[in-house]
A and B are shown apart, each in its own frame.
Chain A
Amino acid sequence: MKKTVITVVGKDTVGIIAKVCTYLADNNVNILDISQTIVQDYFNMMMIVDANNSAKEFSQLADELEDLGKSIGVQIKMQSEDIFNIMHRI
């Protein structure tokens, strides 16, 4: 199964996780793992998700998440897990 990594970085505010998760649920994207830290008021979250069952194309999901991020003042990136595996695992 191809996994996807979503990262959310930005100033902490109420409801970031809720909004991202609602979007993912609406688009049939399953969350497999979440980790999150806050360093000096900066919100930093990583999700590993399964987006294979979504009706939308990868690029459309990525674009919409980016726009969602802009509306709550954070940066949201969606990337294939491959890039991290290949760089950090031998």
Chain B
Amino acid sequence: MINIFEVNETNKMVEQMNLDVRTITMGISLLDCIDSDLDALNEKIYKKITTLAKDLVSTGNQIEREIGIPIVNKRISVTPIGLVGGAACKTKEDFVTIAKTLDKVAKEVGVNFIGGYSALVSKGMTPAEELLIRSIPEALACTERVCSSVNVGSTKTGLNMDAIKLMGEVVVEAAEYTKENDSLGCAKLVIFCNAPDDNPFMAGAFHGVTEADAIINVGVSGPGVVKKALEKVRGENFEVLCETIKKTAFKVTRVGQLVAQEASKRLGVPFGIIDLSLAPTPAVGDSVAEILEEIGLESVGAPGTTAALALLNDQVKKGGVMASSYVGGLSGAFIPVSEDQGMIDAVVNGALTLEKLEAMTCVCSVGLDMIAIPGDTPATTISGIIADEAAIGMINQKTTAVRIIPVIGKGVGETVEFGGLLGYAPVMPVNKFSCEAFVNRGGRIPAPIHSFKN
């Protein structure tokens, strides 16, 4: 039987170390809603989501109460709208009506984000997908809870440079559309390479076409728990360090597994995956950067950061994989700047640059995340940043992403406030040299040689 020390350990993790389940995300397929009539399509989408997800929030709250672990977010991901709306949408405005429907549904069922205003264009764009992409700035500006993502490349297909060029322009436009709110629209837009079909984390969640009709995916968290565990092994060697991270990750992930099983059972929706990512929040003591500093760095960004992060990411996976029956999604350590107090401090102190962040993304998920850059950054430069990040994903057969915010009207050294879980960020400098001629070439970067395994 369970003893008092074990009970206290678990409760301390929750009360003092910010252990929580970051999200229960219900993936819902909208493929059966497809209709050539726009009104009918919107109606079907509304009905399907409100029917399947009506109890999502109350069930989440019930589980939270019974097992005593906060479940911070309840969310929904849907089939990429670029596919669903293809038959009905003839203009950008047509697509925006779907975004508005999704926003309305999200508010009605009480989820704080709904993801899937997306297009998968890793090799080419259909006219409908291009329309959807061009409608993103308006869709994000006139909705509150809709999240958008675009997959612009993969290891199997190479990089769609036309889409990458377009996305640079879309990011700038999304920033313009929401300039009154510190360009918040860009915080809800992720550009992927090798996007996973079952990611529960926003803003990049969508319900892939390989998935079942509905599915429950759970994202765990717990940087604070790892940090506290590592405080107890200060000065010990790497073997002890790695064992400690693994054991902690195991315990954290088990909680996610329990929540996922319970949610699946109570909602009558199959369990998909647990996403093992260490997801920080702006709260003190809930930071991935602080773990890296506990491992032995004066500040994140110092030499050794990439190695420390590689170690952390790998041990989290090793511990987490055994704790769950199915692991998927992004599964790694997130290093968003604005959502992590330690990262913010490192940028302010000059310890962390965009280039170092790019290096860090080679060894962890997910990419350049929640980074504020000057509002006058040219679209082609943003496309260049996206291309660099996508190339890292393509060559290393991993997911990479870019969620970057050119803050209109602000420059290096100023601060942007996004609020809530999105946090705040100092505007970071970007390399001033141009990549315009490179981005404007047009076409695709071919798939790398190691994709030809057949």
A residues at B contact (CB < 8 Å): 5, 7, 33, 35-37, 44, 46, 48, 58-59, 62, 77-88
- CB-CB under 8 A for A83 and B1, given A59-B62, A59-B65: no
Question: How distant is the Cα of A79 from the Cα of B95 in the complex, in angstroms?
Answer: 45
- B69 pairs with A83, CB closer than 8 A: yes
Residues of A contacting B9 in the complex (Cβ-Cβ under 8 angstroms): 88
Q: Known interface pairs A58-B66, A79-B67. Does A84 touch B4 (Cβ–Cβ under 8 Å)?
A: no
Q: How far is the CA of A53 from the CA of B140 in the complex (A)?
A: 50
> Provided the pairs A83-B255, A85-B2 are in contact, do residues A7 and B7 lie with their beta carbons within 8 angstroms?
yes
Contacting residues, chain A, for B3 (C-beta < 8 A): 35, 46
Nearest-neighbour CB distance to chain A for B295, whole angstroms, equals 24
What does DSSP make chain B's interface, helix, strand, loop or mixed? helix
Contact A44 B10 (CB under 8 A): no
Q: Other than A79-B68, A80-B67, give 16 A-B pairs with Cβ distance below 8 A.
A: A5-B7, A7-B8, A33-B1, A46-B3, A58-B65, A59-B65, A79-B66, A80-B66, A82-B67, A83-B10, A83-B255, A83-B258, A86-B257, A87-B251, A87-B255, A88-B10
- Closest Cβ of chain A to B175, distance in Å, is 43
A84 in complex: contacting residue of B2, B62, B65, B257, CB < 8 Å: B2
Interface centre among A7, A81, A88, by most B CB within 10 Å? A88
Is A62 within 8 A of B65, CB to CB? yes
| Smallest CB separation, A60 vs chain B (Å) | 10
CA distance A59 to B2 in the complex (A): 22
Query: Does B126 interact with chain A (Cβ within 8 Å)?
Result: no
CB-CB contacts below 8 Å: B1-25 with A: 1-4, 6-11
Is the pair A82, B258 in contact by a Cβ cutoff of 8 Å?
yes
Whether A37 lies near B4 (C-beta < 8 A) is: yes
* Closest A residue by C-beta to B3: A35
CA distance A33 to B251 in the complex (A): 24
Minimal beta-carbon separation of B274 from chain A (angstroms): 12
Give, as a whole number of angstroms, the nearest-CB distance from A61 to chain B: 10
B317 interfacial contact with A, CB 8 Å: no
Chain B residues with CB under 8 Å of A85's CB are 2
CB of A68, distance to nearest CB on chain B (Å): 17
Which chain A residue shows the least CB distance to B6?
A88
Task: Write the nearest CB–CB distance from B9 to chain A, whole angstroms.
Answer: 8
Question: Which chain B residues numbered 235 to 263 have a C-beta less than 8 Å away from chain A?
Answer: 251, 254-255, 257-258, 262
Q: How far is the CA of A86 from the CA of B63 in the complex (A)?
A: 15
* Bound-complex Cα distance A83 to B7 (A): 9
Indicate the member of A33, A37, A80, A86 with the most B CB atoms within 10 Å.
A86
- Provide a sorted-by-A list of 23 A–B residue pairs whose CB atoms are within 8 angstroms: A7-B8, A7-B11, A46-B3, A46-B7, A48-B1, A58-B65, A59-B62, A62-B65, A78-B68, A79-B66, A79-B67, A80-B68, A82-B67, A83-B10, A83-B69, A83-B255, A84-B2, A84-B6, A84-B7, A86-B257, A87-B251, A88-B2, A88-B251
